[in-house]
Amino acid sequence: MLLEEKRKELVAIGLRAIREGLTTGTGGNFSVCDRESGLMCITPSGIPYVDIRPEQIVVMDVETGKIVDGDAVPSSECDMHRIFYKYRTDIDAVIHTHTTYASTYSCFRRPLPAIHYLAAFGGTHVNCAEYATYGTVELARNAFKAMEGVNAVLLANHGLLAGAKTLDMAYNITEELEFCCKMVCTSMAMEASGVKPVVLPQDEMDRMVERFKGYGKVHEKHEEI
């Protein structure tokens, strides 16, 4: 089977998302890009993640969007995935979800404030892309524009999109930003009592982005305590 391992990887990540509450039913979509062949694998449309088989993962040509293999219809958001593989060589995996808090916060159509340093998993900032109907080229272009130079973007009245070198990395970004969106939504509810959260300054977020580059890889040396 063409790109069998990548297709199995997508089946596994979909099941993980269901198990850990990052998606439900058929919501959202997941993909990976194989740079060597110029092909991408994407989850199918209309099939619950618990029922997807590897052969139903759709293989498409990144350059043309032509379906190369797969026993199903590709996700309606295939263009939104393909645009990143076509023009962002730093991204080889894309995850789009309708997580509760990210989707809720996206309805306010605002950038995600740096209420917690974990927001830096998405980059120096996380914008909210202009609204467009799901499954359209317009939405793909809006998402791509709003995610320039970073690894995540909110989709207005829709959800969250994250891109990275690997599926695991994109999944981690999704998890951390959903946590941050939960914090923001909770804080907004508390603001009704007149209490406002303190947002981290941009220079601190820039510092966090640099620190995360070595996260889990480098043991930092500090001055003696």
Residue that is written with structure tokens 């199995």 in the block? 8
Convert 79-116 to b/e letters by CB count within 10 Å (16 or more is b).
bbbbbbbbebeebbbbbbbbbbbbbbbbeeeeebbbbb
DSSP 120: G
**How many whole angstroms separate alpha carbon 101 and alpha carbon 189?**
13
Note if 191 is an active site residue: no
Residue that is written with structure tokens 């970073």 in the block? 150
Instruction: Answer whether 94's CB lies under 8 Å from 77's CB.
Output: no
* Among candidate residues 43, 120, 130, 116, the one with its CA nearest the CA of residue 78: 43
The catalytic residue among 77, 175, 176, 178 is 77
The token duo for 220 is 């930092």
Radius of gyration of the chain (CA): 18
Task: List the catalytic residues.
Answer: 77
